[in-house]
Structure 1
C-alpha cells in the first residue's frame, strides 16, 4: 500500500521524498508522523504567500491528500476549525455472511446471505418449519374455543311433557346489562295435545317472550318460527339493570304458539331466580318447560301516546309515539302495524284517522300527531278509541292487534287516569303507556267499541 504524500519543511521548492522516492512527497510542519489540518493549511498559506509559480499547493490538493490517506490507512482526520462542516460518511451496504466465524471471515466458502432466525418459545417450535420460514401459518393454532361454545356442546336435558329450552345467560359489567341468548327449543307438544280449538292441530308456530319479574312491562320477544316443534332462534337480548338489582329479579321465559284465528296459546315457561346464578362468567341452561297458570289477560303488546286538549281552538290532539312487543298476527309477509284513532260522541262515530304503517317490525316508532275538532261541550261525552292494526296490503281486511278506549267510556283504570289528567291539564301533552286489550274485552266495556268495526 503506497504511503500518502507528505510535506517537507524548510525548502522553497517541492522536492521528492528521499526515503520513498515518491514525487511530491511532503513532511509535516510539526514533524509528526501524519499530516494534520493545521500543518496543511499553514503550508497552503505559506506557498501562496511565497508566490511559488511552479507547483503552488492549492486547497483542492490538500483535500485530495487527506482523502487518499484516509482510504489507505483507515485513519480519520478532524479539522480543527471554528467553521462547521458536514462530516464525511462512508456508506456501505451491510450484509450477513455465513463465512463469518467470530470476528474473522471464512475464505473457503463464498459468502451466502443468512436468513434471520425467529425466536420462538419451546412450546411453539413446531409451528414453523426447520428452515425458518414464517410464511407457513397454521390457522388452527389461532382458533379459540370459548366457554360458551364448549358448554353448548353439552347434552340437553330430557324433554318433559311441554318440551325443553336451551338458553345462555351472561352479565356485561361494562354496560351493566344482562345478556339473554335464546338458542333453541325441542320437543314442543303439538297443538292438539293442549288446545283442541286451534285451527292447525299438527304444527306449532312458536315464539318466546322474556322478562325480569316483577317488571312485566319491560319484555323482549323473539321472531316467529313457522310450523315446527323444534325451533331454533339464536337471538340475543339485553336488559340494562344494575348487578345488585339483578340479584333480586326472577327471569321468566314463556314459549307461546301463534294462532291467527284465536288467542295465542301458552306452551310452557321457565322461571329462574337470578340470585343463584353466576351470570358474570356466563352459563348455559337446558330447562324443561313447565305448565303456566291461567293468565287473567292476554298480552297483546303496549302503546305509548299523548293527549292534549286546546279549549280555545276546540281541538283534541292525539300524538301516537310508539308501540312495543306487539303480538304477531300474520305468518306470511311479516308485520306492518299502524294505529287507527276514532272519535265517538254520544254513541255516534264522528271521525277516524290513521297513521302510516311500519313494515317488518313489532316495535314500531310513529311520532305522528292526529287532530280532531271537539268543543268544550262535546268533550264531556267524547270517547277516543285507539286501535292497533296490521296492514295486509289492501287486498284483504287488515288484522286486529289490540285496542284501548279512553273518555266517557274506558277500557280500564289506567285509561281513566290518563283521560282525567288530560282534562285537568289543558294545553299540556300528557303521555302514558297502555296495555292493549282484546276486541271482545273492549266491546264489553264500551258501546263505542262496538260502533267501530
Structure 2
C-alpha cells in the first residue's frame, strides 16, 4: 500500500489477550510514514525512515484480566534522528474492554497528531529533554529557535540572544542556568546541553521554564517569550514531560511555542 506525503500517519496492528497467561499481545504489522513506534515501556525495532514501514513484530504486556475492562492502550509513533532524539509523529488511544482472544482482525487506523498550539507571534524553540535515573540527572538540550523576529525584528537583529533555563519544584525556583550568547537571527542555533540534578521522586512535581532573552545595547536584558514544561502545563509542554517520564534515558525532542 502506498502513501502520499500529505497523508495522516497510519498503523496496521492487531490485539489479543491470553487469559491463561494474563498477557496482552500487541502485533505491529506495518505503518505509513513511520520510523519508530512504542507503547509505554515497550517498543518495536527501530526501522529506517520510509513512507511505508513493515515490522511484523509483537509486544507482550502482563495485564490482569480484571484490569482489562478499564484499561487503555496508547500507541505512540515517533521518529528518531541521528542524535537519538525522539519526536512524536502521532498517537492512538485504544480501550482494552473489547479485546478478545485470540487475535482480532488486523486493522488500519489513523493516528491523531498532537494539537498544534496557535502561533503566538513570539516564535518557537526546539529542545530535547531526557532523564537519567541512575545519576538523578535531567538533561535539557536547547537546539534552536525560529521566527523570533515577530514584532521587534528591527530592534533586535544583531543583539545577543540567549536562553535562560530555570528548574522549579512546585513554585520554588531551585536552580537557574543559561546558554551561551548568540547573535540574534530569525532562526538562531545553540545545540547546547544544560544539566540539573533532580531526585526521581521530585520529577512529577518539578518544572523547567525556558525564557528567550536578548541583551540590548545598554546591557539590559529583555524577554522575547517563554515556555514551561511539566505536568502542570497543557498541550505539547505537558506531552513532552510525560514522554520523558515514560522513556527514561531517551532524548525526546519537540517544538514549543513561546508566549509572554
Calculate the TM-score normalised by the size of structure 2. 0.51
Secondary structure of 1:299's match?
coil
Q: Deviation at 1:330? A: 6.2
Tell me which of 225, 237, 255 is aligned to 1:433.
Answer: 255
Distance 2:156 2:126 in 1: 27
Q: Deviation at 1:408? A: 3.3
Select the structure of larger CA radius of gyration.
1
Q: Deviation at 1:333? A: 6.6
* Aligned residue number for residue 422 of structure 1: 244
- Count of residue pairs the alignment pairs up: 141
User: Equivalences for 1:299-448 in 2 at 5 Å?
Assistant: 299-327=121-149, 328=152, 331=155, 334-392=158-216, 395-410=218-233, 412-438=234-260
Query: For the structure 1 residues 331 and 311, does the alpha-carbon distance in structure 2 shift closer, same or farther, using more than 3 Å as the test?
Result: same
After superposition, give the CA deviation of every residue in 1:286-335 in whole Å (9 maximum; x if it has no partner): xxxxxxxxxx7631101000000011100100000000110336627733
User: Equivalences for 1:75-114 in 2 at 5 Å?
Assistant: none
Secondary structure of 2:239's match?
helix
Query: For the structure 1 residues 428 and 349, does the alpha-carbon distance in structure 2 shift closer, same or farther, using more than 3 Å as the test?
Result: same
Q: Deviation at 1:363? A: 0.9
After superposition, give the CA deviation of every residue in 1:327-376 in whole Å (9 maximum; x if it has no partner): 33662773322111100103211011110111141211100000001011
Asked if 1 retains the 8 angstrom alpha-carbon contact of 2:128 and 2:253, the reply is yes
Asked if 2 retains the 8 angstrom alpha-carbon contact of 1:325 and 1:362, the reply is yes
Calculate the TM-score normalised by the size of structure 1. 0.30
Distance 2:125 2:137 in 1: 22
* Aligned residue number for residue 7 of structure 1: none
* Aligned residue number for residue 42 of structure 2: none
- Structure 1 stretches (4+) deviating beyond 6 angstroms? none
* Aligned residue number for residue 281 of structure 1: none
Distance 2:223 2:241 in 1: 24
Asked if 2 retains the 8 angstrom alpha-carbon contact of 1:336 and 1:361, the reply is no
Secondary structure of 2:245's match?
helix
* Aligned residue number for residue 292 of structure 1: none
* Aligned residue number for residue 109 of structure 2: none
Q: Deviation at 1:435? A: 1.1
Higher RCO (CA < 8 A, seq sep 6+): 2
After superposition, give the CA deviation of every residue in 1:51-78 in whole Å (9 maximum; x if it has no partner): xxxxxxxxxxxxxxxxxxxxxxxxxxxx
The Cα RMSD (Å) is 1.8
Deviates more, 1:357-366 or 1:321-330: 321-330
